[in-house]
Amino acid sequence: ATLVSLELPDRHGKLEDCVLGYDRLDGYLKSSPYFGSIVGRYGNRIAKGQFVLNGITYHLAKNNGENHLHGGIKGFDKVVWNAEPVKEAGAVGVKFAYLSKDGEEGYPGNLACAVTYTLTNNDELIIRYEATSDKATPINLTHHSYFNFTGGRRDILGHELTLNVDRYTPVDKGLIPTGELAQVAGTAMDFTTPLPIGLRIAQVEGGYDHNYVLTGSGGTMALAARVVEPDSGRIMEISTTEPGIQFYSGNFLDGTISGKSGRVYQKHFGFCLE
């Protein structure tokens, strides 16, 4: 269920692929940092690889230091989904389905998931997530494309980001939220007005990898983020029904991955809005 290409026109109508990835399947299977993936059962980190639910402690893989990350050793990014085409009025797409069995990666319950990607005639990419379980279980599905609206030719630090937020969740050294909901105003975390991603990134230890609390969120579709790449003129707006959005500035890209057309992905060569 991985998005491998997203071609977007610049202000002159020139199409370029604006998500990081590989030219061949092998790359995704061997060493992908979740390029274009559907992440599950649980996007982001679970502290110390365990959680308590209904009085039972569940133990998960510690695949990110002492913590559990993005569903574990074989998360939803590494499984084969069933797929079928979708046709709607003014749109086409693919519906992916996967059954995560009780106990998979340590999680309880048989979890039936469906993720539908739809491309509309209005240049919208719509991602719909559905899941049902026969036991109580934590679930936090997300999409993990690394965007770069220069077509992947240089870093994303000049992209201008706006986030419709007023608070964020500070994290500890292991990138686990502390529980505090801090105001963004007056800090390097503030993107309530359009600013280049790289303008204050040096003030954020390690770079941006934080969850933001969306203003007015909670079940209704609302604008969460807007990104503008000034040179190409490409613009992306993200709307979601979810209460938060994770902004990641590609801090762990380190030049060891050769991606599409042999391009070497250096630090900050892609950003994610999960």
Secondary structure letter of residue 19 according to DSSP = B
205 belongs to the catalytic site: no
Q: What distance in Å separates the CA atoms of residue 214 and residue 192, rounded to the nearest whole number?
A: 11
Residue-wise DSSP of 57-107: EEE----BTTBEETTSTT-GGGSPPEEEEEEETTEEEEEEEEEE-TTGGG-
Secondary structure letter of residue 49 according to DSSP = G
For residue 146, give Cα distances in angstroms to 52, 265, 270: 32, 11, 5
Cβ-count burial of 140 within 10 angstroms (0-12 exposed, 13-18 middle, 19+ buried)?
Answer: middle
Q: Check 68, 143, 144, 210 and give the catalytic one.
A: 144
Is the peptide bond prior to 263 cis by the omega test (within 30 degrees of 0)? no
Q: Identify whether the C-beta of residue 225 lies closer than 8 Å to the C-beta of residue 193.
A: no
143 belongs to the catalytic site: no
Q: What distance in Å separates the CA atoms of residue 142 and residue 245, rounded to the nearest whole number?
A: 10
Active site residues: 144, 274
